[in-house]
Amino acid sequence: MMKHHMRTRRNFLKMGSLAGAGFLCGCTASSETRALANTMPNHHTLDGFQNFPPIPKSSGLGLEFWWNRTKASFNSPVIPEDHYLPEKQALQNYDNLKEKNTLTWLGQNTFLLKINNKVILTDPFFDEYVDPFRTVKRFLPPGISQENLPPVDFIVLSHNHRDHLSEDVIELLPNKERIQVFVPLKMRPFFAKRGYSQIHELDWHESFSIGGIKITSLPAVHYSGRGLWDKNETLWCSWAIMSDTGKYYFSGDTAYSPTIFKMIGKDYGPFDLSMMTIGTYGNRKYGINNHANPEEAITMGLDIKTDISVGMHWGTIDLSEEPPWEPPERFRASAAKAGIPQEKTWIMKIGETRLLPGKKIVV
């Protein structure tokens, strides 16, 4: 499978060149281009990438959406005291478990996983605002600030949206030359430009193993883009993270697809723990469906055969129309309805560190 994906990836790049040449000369697609198109994976297109199986196209966000989000950023909700830990306490708790395999939630989809003394940073979002115009502001700072992060060994990125990837943090992290970076297709230049050299750019179902940890790119139902004109030019994905002590799943941002998640469960499960998006579903009023709601997140967990589900992508920044503290309530209620014990459904505090579950497996 690896050789097939590498071949089709080269074909995809070659086809892009052919298509560009055809555009410049005003020609229709050549027979070679059409032939190459038949060898592409279904989620590749001439213009970039797409969800597969396809989902209905959503409407544009529109002025109403951005106006509502901007207003919300100036009226931050009352933050429950049990939603976060002061950074000093977060750092102390992290240090108390420094010899263990742990999971620390920093907010949104940003976690620190410590596995066999390797520190994995997921979807690094540390910015105060989610957009370059500084209109949509996060509720709380990260559970551990950029300056106090432990030395990072791996970065695992699901996609390039601004609430998942902070340019300044990527620019300023120390020891770039030794950090192993795992990204979806077409994201290599972003990191290479900022001084990283150990970059593993993976298509769906491709894997790379290093230091006793195997990381596999898996499908997700979403989209990409950091500006107005680059939608879907880079791939998006979810990830399986496996070692000899456990198997973990990171959903990134994704809508629900029974086809995709049942396949992941069949081919890659079961998982000891999964980090699942449970917020930003209120935008369906605008015809947008690219994030799972809490009930769908529980179904995803059942599909992929996870033991523990952890809620993420909530309680950090207002990107949607649902009440900010509704996602965890619905997440727990749906788990209870499905007969899942409360201790198997984690709602973590920002800054909280917990022991990772796991068992001996063969990678």
- Average pLDDT of the residues in 6-18: 44
Q: Where are the alpha helices (DSSP H) in the chain?
A: 2-25, 31-37, 62-73, 87-96, 167-172, 188-192, 258-268, 294-304, 326-337
CATH class of 62-355: alpha beta
Domain range summary for the chain, segments of one domain joined by +: 2-40, 62-355
For the cut 80, the answer to whether the pLDDT of residue 313 exceeds it is: yes
Amino acid 178 reads R
pLDDT in tens, 44-91: 999 899 999 887 665 555 666 667 767 766 777 899 999 999 999 999
Rounded Cα–Cα distance for residues 280 and 117 (Å): 33
pTM of the predicted protein model: 0.89
pLDDT in tens, 155-204: 999 999 999 999 999 999 999 999 999 999 999 999 999 999 999 999 99
Rounded Cα–Cα distance for residues 195 and 197 (Å): 7
Query: What does the DSSP 8-state code read for residue 193?
Result: T
